[in-house]
Structure 1
Amino acid sequence: MTTSSSQSTTLWSDLLLRAMAELRELYNPLEDQLADSQREDFVHLFDGSAKLDEMLQQSAPNRHDLMNVLSAIRGYAEMLREDLATEHAELDSALTRLLKGIQAANSGGDTSEPASATQRTITTEPGFILAVDDLQENRELVARYLSRSGHIVVTAAGGEEALRSLDQADVDVVLLDLVMPDMDGREVLRRIKEHPEWRATPVIIISGRQDMDGIIECIEAGADDYLFKPFNPVLLQARIKAGIERKRWHDREQLYRQQLERNEKFIRATFGRYLSDEIVTDILERPEGLELGGDLRRVTIMMSDIRGFTSLSEQLEPAQVVSLINRYLAAMTDIIMAYHGTIDEFIGDAILAVFGAPQYRDDDADRATQCALEMQAAMEEINRLNREDGLPEITTGIALNTGDVIAGNIGSERRSKYGFVGHAMNVTSRIEDVTAGGEILIADSTLQSLNNQYRTGDSRELKVKGIDELLQVHQILESDR
């Protein structure tokens, strides 16, 4: 210890020890008049004084340990001043001199500034505070002091205990000592900031170490603040207030995000029953997707229908008709959506689907064809279930046609749907009218759009009502892949 440093230490230590001796003399005759909590605070104060006296006898006391003791003495002195200032003027005067000595210790011997740290009151929303320190007296001091402000305080004697507390409770602010035996504060800080559920929790380092490199290291690791021991209680309250406000904002933001996610899931689940996933996504991500209008798209259109369904339904009870049609539509819907088809609508037992809108893909025609083949293959299982339930077997005809349509929101401002308009829609309907049960007919435009090879059956020309040109269609049997 240098001469100037030794002189500075002698200055504040003499002031502090004289004030402590004066307090002992004043305390003894007043002991029976004090409340239990006040007597307990004096016991802690005198214990700290004894530790300080022992440290000062050493040639080079450890600064971290010294700051811990001074922090404890200051804290209990501050609380006693708050309790006793109006009742015992002599005690208040001695406590003021004691605090002045602690201030001098913390400022290199300067005693010119007022020592009181209670000149300003910080009003803050009560929070859940975790105080981590290996010294019991420090934990008790922080808990006592912050509890007076309405905070709920839990303490931890080491890093592992602190992490367990974080795992069990929603902590608003962590007060963290750096020097601890089992796991130091830097490791605790690292684990907090790496944990997905804890990283938003503000961490305030309270340490007797005042080296700038250590402070920078902690801030870079994610610490929200750094206070020196002995800490200023008013400054600590201000830091805690700021930390609680940040945590509250984060919690509200997190809750808002969770509500948005729940709402989006609800919207997708609800409207997904009426619209394809791609259309719902387009509406959610682009508000302009709700505007009326459309654009020209090259798509492959699919129309599927149960053969002879009208006569079948006349022979069945209404509940049987509903069971039959729902089983068929449920199976077909799953297959169409698996191939990224957009179901435009169900028209009784008929299905109208489009491949290529709202999202275009290079293999739209191939996916539509593969989808049609899988839909026909699925009829075997549907009919097996129908037989088990005493329902009739059914067959379907499927038509595919590739052409240009207007795709977009059709209707009015009060009632609209994502749909398709164009000559190609009428052509597909006419082709579907002539398909037989179990048959897939594709227009020549679709055949020319295919990238893969398929085994075809009969090819023929159709002359249909309402369309002047002859329609060349091809029977698709299976894929060659």
Structure 2
Amino acid sequence: MENNQTHRTRPLWLPDAKKLVDRIDVLQPVAELIGSTSLEGDLKTLKTVGLKLRHFTQSVSRGTIYDNPTVRHELRNLTSAIIGYSEFVLEEMEQTVDGLLYDSLQTILALCHQLSAYDDREDPLADTTGPSIKTIGGTILIVDDQIESRDLLKRYLQLNKTTVLEASNGTSMFAVLTENEVDLILLDLILPEMDGDELLELLKQDEKLRAIPVIVVSGNKETDRVIRCIEAGAEDYLFKPFNPILLQARISAGVERKRWHNKELQYRRELERNQDFIRSVFGRYLSEDIVTRILENPEGLDLGGSQRKVTVLMADIRGFSSIAEQLPPQRVVRLLNNYLGVMSDVVMRYGGTVDEFIGDAILAIFGAPTTSDDDSDRAVQAAIAMQQAMVLINQQNRADQLPEISMGVSINTGLVVAGNIGSEKRAKYGIVGHTVNLTSRIGGYCQAGEILITEATRNDCRSSLAVGPAQHIQAKGILTAIQVYRLEGASPAKTKNSDTSAKNPEAIG
């Protein structure tokens, strides 16, 4: 507990404060003698602050209030306001104005600096050389319960083309922040209701407001309060009376940081929109895992077009044309949706890309837009699962009173050109090349429930495949005969391919 005797000791600064009050009292009569109306507003405000200082010093003299950090904070508030308005009057004075007013103002400034020196005998921040005007811009909120302090800061800021908002306490501060976009807050420490450091903690806990830079401008020089503010998230802490040039520099730096934060936030939002777009476009054709890999490693997705090795899978319904002729259009669409919906899910479950639907056919890619060592293996496993899924599809068709269907699947591995294909107005990610055409041609030779794979796919697989004897087909538009195999099963064992004697292969249902 502090010693009350220390509090009751007559403050060393009290005589200078009384001299300052007396000097301010004579300003108005001097101005009236000169007859300058342009200075009337600022001189009137100076007189008002002088009256506050008079009442303040009288309370200290009578012992109504005692010298302590809070009292000295109030003294600095008043002194800072007197310095500011005195400087404004000096700037507004015409050269023809009598030297008496000029001398009185200089004496007032000297007394203010003497009062400042009682806390720090040599305080560089007490220098109040006029600011070098530099455009800051932005919107700044001043939170101070002293109207003179707010007005002084406001006038300095408006010289810098800054939009200024005001609040006298925490309630009005949050009300202003709710209605306005603010670039920086100048916060006094000693406030009614709740002090500035408490407001600062609340501000930094708010997700929407925490990025606003806060500079504490206060007459309180208690080290623990300064530290508490910095730890709570204040950008800086300036003592009153403040140096206008230093204040301007700190504000400029704070506003610039807020602008960079806003740009970063805008960039993140654009990135999120782009990611949402990629998910909405590719999510229709790719598994969630592949979409996530694309977003995490975007350089792996070259939409401009690139040559790559892929395994192409094409599946279609056997005898679909005759089935479609016997059904009304709505029933045809229902049948296709039953079939293509299940097939798409199987393809994506095995990490494939649904490139497109061509009537009753589904074209899938394994190896684009992302590539893996097991692309052909996954394509084979997907084909087997697709044939097995026909049981469920036909169950649904029977429930919907639709005809049962069967499917053939062809698989081929080779080089393609993959990329964003189309025009500026309409484009899609897809593949083109001989490998695609050859897969389509092989599909014409598939029987119901059959999977045909090429020699290239068989050689590329690391799994143990169970295949039938080699077949040679002469596809339309292909000059040489194509060697294909009927796939009868596959096992994940990474051994040499085998014929139907392979051990425990996963058989086609």
Identify the TM-score tier after normalising by the shorter chain. 0.7 to 0.9
Instruction: From the superposition, tell whether residues 51 and 396 of structure 1 become closer, same or farther in structure 2 (CA, over 3 Å).
Output: farther
Residue number in structure 1 paired with 2:215? 204
Contact residue 356 and residue 362 of structure 2 kept, 8 A:
yes
Output the CA distance in 2 between the equivalents of 1:114 and 1:11. 23
Output the CA distance in 1 between the equivalents of 2:351 and 2:125. 76
Instruction: From the superposition, tell whether residues 356 and 288 of structure 1 become closer, same or farther in structure 2 (CA, over 3 Å).
Output: closer
Q: Deviations over 1:126-166 (max 9, x none)?
A: 22111122334433443344345432222222224323322
Output the CA distance in 1 between the equivalents of 2:194 and 2:79. 24
Residue number in structure 2 paired with 1:99? 109
Contact residue 15 and residue 97 of structure 1 kept, 8 A:
no
1:377 aligns with 2:397: no
Q: CA deviation at 1:265?
A: 3.5
Residue number in structure 2 paired with 1:26? 30
Residue number in structure 2 paired with 1:255? 266
Contact residue 462 and residue 472 of structure 1 kept, 8 A:
no
Output the CA distance in 2 between the equivalents of 1:414 and 1:431. 26
Instruction: From the superposition, tell whether residues 41 and 145 of structure 1 become closer, same or farther in structure 2 (CA, over 3 Å).
Output: farther
1:473 aligns with 2:484: no
Q: Deviations over 1:421-471 (max 9, x none)?
A: 9999979985884442xx47698x899969xxxxxxxx9878563565763
Q: CA deviation at 1:224?
A: 1.0
Aligned counterpart for 1:159 among listed residues 156, 163, 170: 170
Contact residue 144 and residue 188 of structure 2 kept, 8 A:
yes
Contact residue 318 and residue 408 of structure 2 kept, 8 A:
no
Residue number in structure 2 paired with 1:169? 180
Aligned counterpart for 1:127 among listed residues 128, 138, 141: 138
Aligned counterpart for 2:239 among listed residues 225, 228, 234: 228
SS in 1 for 2:363: strand
SS in 2 for 1:286: helix
Residue number in structure 1 paired with 2:306? 292
Worse-superposed segment, 132-141 or 61-70: 132-141
Output the CA distance in 1 between the equivalents of 2:124 and 2:307. 75
Output the CA distance in 2 between the equivalents of 1:382 and 1:98. 97
Instruction: From the superposition, tell whether residues 274 and 304 of structure 1 become closer, same or farther in structure 2 (CA, over 3 Å).
Output: same
Aligned counterpart for 1:60 among listed residues 58, 61, 67: 67
Q: CA deviation at 1:338?
A: 5.4
Q: CA deviation at 1:248?
A: 1.8
Contact residue 450 and residue 487 of structure 2 kept, 8 A:
no
Alignment gaps of 5+ in structure 2:
474-480, 490-506
Q: CA RMSD in A?
A: 5.0
Q: CA deviation at 1:239?
A: 1.9
Q: Deviations over 1:49-102 (max 9, x none)?
A: 324423542452522222222223223333333333546443232222212211
TM-score computed with the length of structure 1 as normaliser = 0.73
Aligned counterpart for 1:80 among listed residues 89, 100, 105: 89
Contact residue 141 and residue 185 of structure 2 kept, 8 A:
yes
Contact residue 189 and residue 218 of structure 2 kept, 8 A:
yes
Alignment of 1:50-449 (within 5 A): 50-57=54-61, 58=63, 60-61=67-68, 62-84=71-93, 86=95, 88-89=97-98, 90-108=100-118, 117-270=128-281, 278=290, 282=294, 285-286=298-299, 289=302, 292-294=306-308, 302-311=313-322, 329=340, 332-333=343-344, 336-337=347-348, 340-354=351-365, 358=370, 360=372, 364=378, 369-370=384-385, 373-374=388-389, 377-378=392-393, 395-399=405-409, 405-406=413-414, 409=417, 433-436=445-448, 439=449
Output the CA distance in 1 between the equivalents of 2:209 and 2:114. 38
Q: CA deviation at 1:348?
A: 4.3
Q: Deviations over 1:186-220 (max 9, x none)?
A: 22222323333222211101122223343233223
Residue number in structure 1 paired with 2:499? none
Q: CA deviation at 1:308?
A: 1.7
SS in 1 for 2:176: helix
- Letter matched to residue 38 of structure 1: D
Worse-superposed segment, 35-44 or 324-333: 324-333
Output the CA distance in 2 between the equivalents of 1:377 and 1:191. 58
Output the CA distance in 1 between the equivalents of 2:155 and 2:371. 64
Worse-superposed segment, 231-240 or 344-353: 344-353
Output the CA distance in 1 between the equivalents of 2:322 and 2:240. 91
Q: CA deviation at 1:171?
A: 0.6
Instruction: From the superposition, tell whether residues 191 and 337 of structure 1 become closer, same or farther in structure 2 (CA, over 3 Å).
Output: farther
Instruction: From the superposition, tell whether residues 51 and 74 of structure 1 become closer, same or farther in structure 2 (CA, over 3 Å).
Output: farther
Output the CA distance in 2 between the equivalents of 1:186 and 1:47. 29
Aligned counterpart for 1:48 among listed residues 52, 57, 61: 52
Output the CA distance in 2 between the equivalents of 1:84 and 1:190. 43
Contact residue 452 and residue 486 of structure 2 kept, 8 A:
no
Output the CA distance in 2 between the equivalents of 1:370 and 1:234. 75
Contact residue 398 and residue 441 of structure 1 kept, 8 A:
yes
- Letter matched to residue 156 of structure 1: A
Number of residue-to-residue matches in the alignment? 457
Output the CA distance in 2 between the equivalents of 1:231 and 1:262. 45
Q: CA deviation at 1:315?
A: 7.7
Q: CA deviation at 1:178?
A: 2.0
Contact residue 276 and residue 337 of structure 1 kept, 8 A:
yes
Contact residue 408 and residue 446 of structure 2 kept, 8 A:
no
Instruction: From the superposition, tell whether residues 93 and 448 of structure 1 become closer, same or farther in structure 2 (CA, over 3 Å).
Output: closer
Instruction: From the superposition, tell whether residues 472 and 318 of structure 1 become closer, same or farther in structure 2 (CA, over 3 Å).
Output: closer
- Letter matched to residue 96 of structure 1: Q
